[in-house]
Amino acid sequence: MTGIKPIVVGVDGSESASAAVAWAARAAAALSLPLHIVTVVHIPAFYYTEPYLAESFKEELEDTAKARLGSARVHAKQTVDEPLDITTEQFEAKVSQTLIELSANAHMVVLGSRGHGEFTGLLIGSTTSAVAAHGHCPLVVVRGRTLDGQPPTEGPIVVGVDGSESSRAALEVAFEQAAARGASLVAVNVWSDVSVQPSLGASPDDPLWSSIQTGEEVVLSERLAGYQERYPDVTVERVVARDRPVRVLSEFAEKAQLIVVGSRGRGGFKGMLLGSTSNALLHTADCPVMIVRPDS
């Protein structure tokens, strides 16, 4: 695919994938981007030991995939009022590998929080984890806060900011999303991963506490500098908190329509592909989660 990079959404026939298609369609409409719906036909290697069985099984899978793509296209069109440039494509390959390759020429990749073939109770499958860790563009995992798993369509965009390269990239994407959706932006800087008891001297009145808090407020201001000039219509709320990042961001996710975080924060070890905060949010957040890598 050349030219304007599309939003790529993967479907597998699950309800979670259907929610992902709807979210991706709204995102494509808001950003005036094409939507590329894909599905993957994966035939286990052992089927090829029986050629006739493999051929009939392959034909059945391909027919199912074609019908799945058709349904997804209709669902995308019905989700938004604006006309969308929609293309569909099916592959015969490994799912994770295909999506990672597609991510190299995508504006973002969108997936459901769980799909077919996963064990009961498994919230994030191996495919999602692989794309989050190795993809070349932002990944959105569509989560919801209602019983039917539908993602919210109102509320602010929340972005985690900690000064790392990943969070800088996340901030850029978060402003883009807020501007496109006409939403406000909540920029959150959580400066301590560990709770220290007040009895140890780390209280709000402690000079050390106060100096760190002030320093982190400066960090947040520096990171936001320039963006509000570029996006004058986006209202920004600044939050600096001393707490566990996952807890604070999860609380904001309860009222947000999207939470945006870097793939790995400033406290991550070199070589770590997905940080603890981003990984936890993929499993627990009450709204869609976007993971942004530094090179996205």
Same domain, 173 and 131: no
Rounded to the nearest angstrom, the gap between the alpha carbon of residue 135 and the centroid of all alpha carbons in its chain is: 11
Global pTM value? 0.86
DSSP, res 166: H
SS3 call for 244: coil
For residue 272, what pLDDT band results from cuts at 50, 70 and 90? very low
Cα–Cα nearest to 215, from 236, 195, 247, 242: 242
185 inside domain: yes
Q: Is the pLDDT of residue 255 over 60?
A: yes
Residues 46 and 132 sit within 8 Å (Cβ to Cβ)? no
> Which of the four pLDDT bands, split at 50, 70 and 90, describes residue 200?
very low
Q: Which residue has the higher pLDDT, 127 or 143?
A: 143
Residue 151 domain flag: no
What backbone phi and psi angles, to 5 degrees, belong to 52?
Answer: -70, -40
pLDDT of 236 strictly over 50: yes
Lowest mean pLDDT among 14-28, 124-138, 217-231, 258-272: 258-272
Q: Is the pLDDT of residue 103 over 90?
A: yes
Amino acid code (one letter) for 130: A
Residue 119: pLDDT band by 50, 70, 90 thresholds?
A: very low
On whether residue 241 sits in a domain, the answer given is yes
169 contact partners, CB below 8 Å, separation of at least 6: 262, 292, 293, 294, 295, 296
The pLDDT value recorded for residue 125 is: 64
Query: How many domains, the chain?
Result: 2
Residues 82, 132 within the same domain: yes
152 located within any domain:
no
| 61 lies in some domain | yes
Higher pLDDT, 235 or 272: 235
Range of the domain at 26: 7-142
Residue 247 lies in a domain: yes
CATH number at residue 178: 3.40.50.12370
How many percent of the chain have pLDDT more than 70? 79
Average pLDDT of every residue of the chain: 82
**Which of the listed residues 115, 142, 169 is the one where a domain comes to its end?**
142
Domain containing residue 76: CATH number? 3.40.50.620
25 compared with 240, residue with greater pLDDT? 25
One domain, residues 123 and 210 = no
Tell whether 30 and 93 lie within a shared domain: yes
Phi-psi region of 177 (alpha: psi -120 to 50; beta: other; left: phi over 0): alpha
> Mean per-residue pLDDT for 46-60?
67
Are residues 131 and 176 located together in one domain of the fold? no
